[in-house]
Chain A
Amino acid sequence: MLELDGLEIRQDDFTLRADWSLAPGTLCAIIGPSGAGKSTLLGALAGFVPLSAGRVLWEGRDITGAMPSARPVSILFQDNNLFPHLSASENVALGLRPSLRLSASERAQVEAALARVGLTGFGARRPAQLSGGQQGRVALARVLLQGKPLILLDEPFAALGPALRAEMLALVAGICRETGATLLMVSHDVSDARVIAGQTVLVADGIAHPPQATEALFNAPPEALRAYLG
């Protein structure tokens, strides 16, 4: 279970508060107007943005001060999720061993992860030699291999077309179901949220509201959501 206990982020005159928890295995979307603090919230959970107050707990353990790599978290950013000078296999292998010194069985794991996202035989290619969708798959293979119980997506597929994006999200959902991981994903597209996320967090007016059932939320949108949806 992910718990945000009186979480507060202050940056100059910007404030974001959150005080809720998320059941394990939940697929949860984060929506809200741009600049509301969706990415900031994910950054705080991943350990990049300091809290001014409150705690973040994972299964009862306080991870507020933990370094990003020591958290039970995999994160994909909007872009730059792959190192352009490393091959697809190496990029994936970083999820297993940051030193890139792999045993034979670990190399097999990398191959398996690439196979799981449909990239068998693409391991030697550099990101520049892959399409946008394939690059997204490589990043997902790494997330899969990291095996962390909490996956954060900061719109890594925003640059893809609608069909490709839906395909990638289906892949994410499949990975979460297989591993039992919890997912928090920022989304600009309401239909993305509806398709894969059972729960949705609305971020608006300095508050990340507690997660609600996605369908119910969109069927009876509160005032802040109505303003955002227009």
Chain B
Amino acid sequence: MTSASRRARLLALGFGGGVATWLVVLNFGALGAVVWRAEGFSALRSADLAAVRFTLVQALWSAALSVALAIPIARALARRQFRGRALLITLMGAPFILPTLVAVLGLLAVFGRSGLINQGLEALGLARFNIFGLHGVVLAHVFYNLPLATRILLQGWAAIPAERFRLAATLGFGPRESFRQLEWPMIRELAPGAFLVIFLICLTSFSVALTMGGGPRATTVELAIFQAFRFDYDMGRAAALALVQFALCASAGVIAWRVALPAAMGGGMDRPVQRFDAGGTGLRLWDGALIVAGALFLLVPLGMLVARGAPHMAGLPPEVWHAAGRSLTVALGATAITLGMTLALAHAVLALGGGRGAMLEWLGLAALAASPLVIGTGLFLLIRPLANPRDFALAITMLVNAGMALPFALRLILPGLRAELATHGRLSDALGLHGLARLRIVTLPRLRRPLGFAAGLTAALSMGDLGVIMLFAEREGATLPMQLYRLMNAYRQDDAAGAALVLLGASLALFVVFDRWGRGRAGT
């Protein structure tokens, strides 16, 4: 090995090692701090065991329903061409950057106590139904993850070669045979991965359970940690619950590692598959109904929220705007940290290569199964001997958000960097492009597109996150999602709707600005 590559390697390993150490501290050290500071576990109450059960049950239902509903919808989208199809598919990517509380408020406008459906039931003289509880949590999770599952499966349909459908046509396959021979094998390959991703996401559900759950009967472990820490200040219980949550996530993570997790970000979905077996009128109507129902399920709640919140945006109390400013700072800080960590980690993964590189990559992706509340609690306890943790609420939120976004950013940036090294790595070495000059002149411009997309995702995720900040909640220093939560709790529904629109607008704007930056002057 030449000294050039040796030096670059050392540099990459140095920075990457730093990030890896930080990730280990974040993922495992925080848990250790919780256990250490707890000075012994308190026995879990029956309520805590109920929380474990509820966590698993709601995650199973959410994942199963999302995937089961996504299969017919993705199938309909895959074989139909209509105006607005591309727009609808783009919109299905939006829940990624949609703040949870915004979705919750939208869903409440339709399914809530005085929502559309209950109003309809009342008009018909029927009894109202209560959305809060298991079905509310599952509903919100499906709202979030049905589009994700649909996009994953839609990619699967797009990946079936067109020739196979032509072959099927010459063999006289009907819809049933096509499904069995062409579509079902693809679904069987992709659906378990989609199921696991959604299961993992729902396992660490906090804000949905906080807002849609119904008291002790519908509490997730993540929410129970928060309650033990915040309301009872029972560190022993918080530690025991944190260990339970860690075990849950770790086992799901191990399973997920063995099943290839699908990516939902890629392209190739804008073209419907030409089909010869789906011309029947009945099928057309069926597909049309599915597509309309799916679109309504996504669009009506958001439309209701916009209609309700828009008139109240101008009259929002000043705290909302201050909170928005703080959230913007957190989001931009988290974005900078995520991109820095991702670049360092990606360089180190490629410098190590082989099995050890894969281990490092896995460490970066492990945060997918990490619990933000456990990490937040741990950091709180680590800081407490040194300073007042509440002074660092925003900084900790920023760091935890950055850690949460890292898996997505790494997924987006690593392949680009790998390709860039393969095509121009030697040229850069031959020209003596090293260190910062290489970053500035080659790496950043060449990776502009995935960097912009990753930055947009991170900023939007962080902007809308209601998680760790709740551990440190103070009157002052709230982020926008937290301020929104307060408004909701105070039953100031109009202000809440207005603030939700501000939050939605800010998240979307952050995503669009970064993503546009990435697409502009794309290095061809």
Which residues of A are found within 8 Å of B5, using beta-carbon distances? 67
Which residues of B are found within 8 Å of A126, using beta-carbon distances? 524
Which residues of B are found within 8 Å of A46, using beta-carbon distances? 426, 430
Tell me the smallest distance from the CB of A57 to a CB of chain B, in Å.
16
Say yes or no for A84: interface residue by CB 8 A criterion: yes
Verify B424–A83 contact, CB threshold 8 A.
Answer: yes
Chain B minimum-CB-distance residue to A64: B2
Verify A85–B430 contact, CB threshold 8 A.
Answer: no
Task: Scan residues 484-524 of chain B and give those whose CB is less than 8 A from a CB of chain A.
Answer: 521, 523-524
Say yes or no for A149: interface residue by CB 8 A criterion: no
Verify A86–B441 contact, CB threshold 8 A.
Answer: yes
Say yes or no for B299: interface residue by CB 8 A criterion: no
Say yes or no for A48: interface residue by CB 8 A criterion: yes
Which residues of A are found within 8 Å of B430, using beta-carbon distances? 46, 68-69, 73-75
Chain A minimum-CB-distance residue to B445: A85
Task: Scan residues 59-78 of chain A and give those whose CB is less than 8 A from a CB of chain B.
Answer: 65-70, 73-75, 77
The interface bits of chain A over 74-109 (1 if a CB of B lies within 8 angstroms of the residue's CB, else 0) are 110100110111100000001100111000000000
Tell me the smallest distance from the CB of B419 to a CB of chain A, in Å.
11
* Given known A85-B524, A128-B524, contact A50–B2 (CB-CB < 8 A): yes
Tell me the smallest distance from the CB of A101 to a CB of chain B, in Å.
9
Question: Which of B1, B431, B445 meets A50, CB within 8 Å?
Answer: B1
Bound form: Cα–Cα A100–B424 in Å: 17
Say yes or no for A47: interface residue by CB 8 A criterion: yes
Verify B431–A67 contact, CB threshold 8 A.
Answer: no
Verify A65–B3 contact, CB threshold 8 A.
Answer: yes
Say yes or no for B423: interface residue by CB 8 A criterion: yes
Say yes or no for B411: interface residue by CB 8 A criterion: no
Task: Scan residues 151-205 of chain A and give those whose CB is less than 8 A from a CB of chain B.
Answer: none
Verify A98–B441 contact, CB threshold 8 A.
Answer: yes
Verify A81–B433 contact, CB threshold 8 A.
Answer: no
Verify B431–A94 contact, CB threshold 8 A.
Answer: yes
Bound form: Cα–Cα A74–B429 in Å: 11
Question: Which of B423, B433, B434, B448 meets A80, CB within 8 Å?
Answer: B423
Task: Scan residues 357-401 of chain B and give those whose CB is less than 8 A from a CB of chain A.
Answer: none
Which residues of A are found within 8 Å of B442, using beta-carbon distances? 83
Bound form: Cα–Cα A68–B437 in Å: 16
The interface bits of chain B over 8-30 (1 if a CB of A lies within 8 angstroms of the residue's CB, else 0) are 00000000000000000000000
Which residues of A are found within 8 Å of B433, using beta-carbon distances? 69, 94, 98
Say yes or no for B292: interface residue by CB 8 A criterion: no
Interface size class of B (residues with CB under 8 A): 20 to 34
* Given known A47-B2, A67-B2, contact A80–B427 (CB-CB < 8 A): yes
Verify A77–B429 contact, CB threshold 8 A.
Answer: no
Question: Which of A70, A73, A77, A85 meets B446, CB within 8 Å?
Answer: A85
Tell me the smallest distance from the CB of A113 to a CB of chain B, in Å.
15
Verify A66–B431 contact, CB threshold 8 A.
Answer: no
Bound form: Cα–Cα A48–B441 in Å: 21
Bound form: Cα–Cα A37–B521 in Å: 39
Which residues of A are found within 8 Å of B438, using beta-carbon distances? 98
Say yes or no for B432: interface residue by CB 8 A criterion: yes
Which residues of B are found within 8 Å of A73, using beta-carbon distances? 430
Tell me the smallest distance from the CB of A68 to a CB of chain B, in Å.
5
Say yes or no for B4: interface residue by CB 8 A criterion: yes
Which residues of B are found within 8 Å of A47, using beta-carbon distances? 2, 4, 429
Chain A minimum-CB-distance residue to B433: A98
The interface bits of chain A over 124-163 (1 if a CB of B lies within 8 angstroms of the residue's CB, else 0) are 0010100000000000000000000000000000000000
Tell me the smallest distance from the CB of B193 to a CB of chain A, in Å.
34
Bound form: Cα–Cα A56–B30 in Å: 53
Bound form: Cα–Cα A73–B3 in Å: 16
* Given known A83-B442, A84-B523, contact A69–B429 (CB-CB < 8 A): yes
Which residues of A are found within 8 Å of B441, using beta-carbon distances? 83, 86, 94, 98-100
Verify A80–B424 contact, CB threshold 8 A.
Answer: yes
Verify B432–A69 contact, CB threshold 8 A.
Answer: yes
Instruction: Kindly name the residue among B2, B7, B524 whose own CB sees the greatest number of chain A CB atoms within 10 A.
Output: B2
Verify A48–B446 contact, CB threshold 8 A.
Answer: no
Chain A minimum-CB-distance residue to B7: A67
Which residues of B are found within 8 Å of A48, using beta-carbon distances? 2, 426, 429
Tell me the smallest distance from the CB of B432 to a CB of chain A, in Å.
3
Task: Scan residues 435-452 of chain B and give those whose CB is less than 8 A from a CB of chain A.
Answer: 437-438, 441-442, 445-446, 448
Verify A77–B3 contact, CB threshold 8 A.
Answer: no
Bound form: Cα–Cα A45–B101 in Å: 61
Bound form: Cα–Cα A140–B432 in Å: 17
Bound form: Cα–Cα A128–B431 in Å: 21
Question: Which of B2, B4, B427, B521 meets A77, CB within 8 Å?
Answer: B427
Bound form: Cα–Cα A66–B1 in Å: 10
Verify B3–A67 contact, CB threshold 8 A.
Answer: yes
Tell me the smallest distance from the CB of A103 to a CB of chain B, in Å.
16
Which residues of A are found within 8 Å of B424, using beta-carbon distances? 80, 83
Which residues of A are found within 8 Å of B1, using beta-carbon distances? 50
Which residues of B are found within 8 Å of A86, using beta-carbon distances? 441, 445
Bound form: Cα–Cα A58–B326 in Å: 61
Tell me the smallest distance from the CB of B328 to a CB of chain A, in Å.
30
Bound form: Cα–Cα A136–B448 in Å: 26
Tell me the smallest distance from the CB of B4 to a CB of chain A, in Å.
3
Verify B429–A68 contact, CB threshold 8 A.
Answer: yes
Bound form: Cα–Cα A100–B2 in Å: 25
Which residues of A are found within 8 Å of B523, using beta-carbon distances? 83-85
Bound form: Cα–Cα A94–B2 in Å: 21
Bound form: Cα–Cα A46–B2 in Å: 10
Tell me the smallest distance from the CB of A184 to a CB of chain B, in Å.
14
Question: Which of A67, A80, A128 meets B4, CB within 8 Å?
Answer: A67
Which residues of A are found within 8 Å of B437, using beta-carbon distances? 98-100
Tell me the smallest distance from the CB of B454 to a CB of chain A, in Å.
18
Which residues of B are found within 8 Å of A94, using beta-carbon distances? 431, 433, 441
Additional pairs, 4, CB under 8 Å, beyond known A67-B2, A83-B442, A126-B524: A69-B434, A81-B427, A94-B431, A94-B441
B-side residues, CB < 8 A to A, are 1-5, 7, 423-424, 426-427, 429-434, 437-438, 441-442, 445-446, 448, 521, 523-524
Q: Please name 10 pairs of A and B residues whose Cβ atoms are closer than 8 Å in the assembled complex, sorted by A.
A: A46-B426, A48-B2, A68-B426, A69-B429, A77-B426, A83-B446, A85-B524, A94-B431, A98-B434, A100-B437
